[in-house]
Structure formats: structure tokens, C-alpha cells
Amino acid sequence: MKNFDRKSKKSEISISSSCSDQIIISCSSTSINVVCTVLGLEERKECIVVGTLYKHTKLKPTILSEHSKERSVTPIIIPGNVVALHGKETSGVDFLVEDILDAGLPPQLDLPKSGEDKYVVLVSGLNVASSSSNPLQLQLLVDHITSHLGDEGIHIDNMSGYNDPANFALPQQTLNRCLFLGSSAYNTFRSCINPHLFDVDNVR
């Protein structure tokens, strides 16, 4: 399996850092102490802890176990939800949560004014190579889309999915272009990571 590319790592770090900063700014307006590490907790003292919620599954290989085996000093990216927990540490070294705050939606850009209609089609679960796939339904979808576009070119961003030959953990890496011998010859086709960020006419 190929390694995660630097772009994916940079994106994950940027998103996590942005969420943390946004939550800290939201919490700073309160009189409650905000801490960003468990080492900053004081027993029975009310505080807000900012960090990443991570679900541990015993039988599933995790990046934490691999990291501990390598004993590397390189920082690692832990996938999860960045949140702020309002509560206090109890005598049993547990944290009693009274409220949860997430980062919310990122700042939204104003939509540019346009005099013509634009369409984006989101399609999932085609399972083209599956025995349960229905070629007729797929062809009906293709005919429906192309009938509205005429001679215009169709730009396709293809993301990895649950049943695709890609790594299971997010971010999923791009599918090899050799799987799309016909489509990959066109510059309107892109094989993308999952999750995928894109924009259409400056609309992200």
C-alpha cells in the first residue's frame, strides 16, 4: 500500500488546527479556564478541554498502535472530531462532561453572481464491477446527464469508496488511473482522494 501523500497530511493538519483555533476563540469569551492538554487538568476544577475525540476499537488496527511500535518522535495525525468538553476531572481520574462544543461550520464564501445555470451531479454507490450492478440503470443515468449537456464536456472527479481497491482509513488515496483506461485519457477526468475538496466557478 502506498504511503499517504504530503498533500493529504498537510490538509488533515490544516483542518484540525483550524477547528481547534475556532473552538478556542469561541470558548475564550467565557470566564472558564481553557486547557489544550490533559496535563493541564486540575482535580474538581471546572474547565474546558479542547482536543480530538478518538474511538478506540480493540480488534481494528490503529495508527496509535503502529506509532507505539515504531517509537517514532515524528508527530502523528489522529483522525477524529475536534471538540471542546466543558466539565471537570473527578477523583477517579475521569472527566465529568457537562457540555460539548464543536467548531461548527467554517466561514462561508459569498456566492458569485452568474447569469447562467450551473449543475453539479453527485453520484454514489454505482458498484460498477459488482455482480449486483445493473448496466441498464447506469446507462440511463449517463443518457440523462448527457442529454442536458449536448456537446459540452463533462468534468468528472472520481473518489475512492467503501468497496474500492484503496486503503480503508480516511483519507482514502486515489484509485490508480490504470483502472480507467478509457476515461483517464481525457483531461476532464480526475482521480481524487476521499474526502475531496473542489470548486466550480469559484464556488467551493
Segment 54-81, tens digit of pLDDT: 776 666 655 556 555 555 555 555 567 7
C-beta separation of 79 from 170 below 8 A: yes
How far apart CA 43 and CA 165 sit, in angstroms, is 48
* CATH entry, 6-102, from 2.40.50, 3.40.50, 2.130.10, 2.40.360: 2.40.50
How far apart CA 164 and CA 202 sit, in angstroms, is 30
* pTM, full prediction: 0.56
Phi, psi of 166 (to 5 degrees): -145, 170
Residue intervals of the chain classified under CATH 2.40.50 are: 6-102
Q: Judge residue 171's burial from the number of C-beta atoms within 10 Å of its C-beta, 0-12 exposed, 13-18 middle, 19 or more buried.
A: buried
* pLDDT tens readout for residues 97-130: 888 888 777 777 787 787 787 788 899 888 877 7
Map residue 34 onto helix, strand or coil.
strand
